[in-house]
Chains A and B, each alone.
Chain A
């Protein structure tokens, strides 16, 4: 555990909590892509199956349970409790275009051709692109609530911090996982455009709106 890994995890946790609280306090999931949230629930489910097979640390186990629990709670709020506020007309990204290629890639490029390992690889690849339905929704409506941009910022910062964590681990532990690193780089790149808008607009007190 190093400082980048820890702050990355906390940033990820902050993102998840911000989204849950935003929906809960406003009693609305307007502007939130339910499809992205389903993909994240799928990511956590397929990655954390090792909860059943191996114990790493109390920290590791508790964080996994919190992430999975919050992911399903978010999906429940969007598709059940506050379903009436869900903006399905703008959430039109075709997720099969992500899930099918990512599934195929997980079968082809993995560390070991075993069910749990393929599911882990699938989750890593899927996480890297799971935010696309949300970004697509924002590009379609041309705007995002400020609190939603805070969520996205924390989520992007999390993977960027993991990149520093992997550099650290490579130098000090000789550890590197090429699958996680390549997917993590792709994931971070997808946020770059958003980071630019966040820094130039939201941090200056303006609402995030895209030119028509």
Chain B
């Protein structure tokens, strides 16, 4: 799965996610990616999220929308991402990752799996990572 979130100069947010799905999946199996609120969500009033991980678990917690609910309650992009991933892991044992932005230009790249390749560009600086802690 691959995905992106962005905030343009006018403060509009958007998300996009695309995937081949799960390895050796049943024919016709559809995961979280095309499901609004699970594979991605975007609202100028709170932010945008793109998710990756085990789709059946992401759908159980509607992970993308869950992150934004926490941000609407005042949590930062990073805290909201971490607490939502922790909920998915504790509630249904699911692993995954998210990239998150808010309309003011705060961002996060968080994951509960062993790794997630990510990159961010802001103010002319490129940030990137793959393993936890990078």
Is this pair of chains taken from one and the same complex?
Answer: no
Residues of A within 8 A of B (CB): none
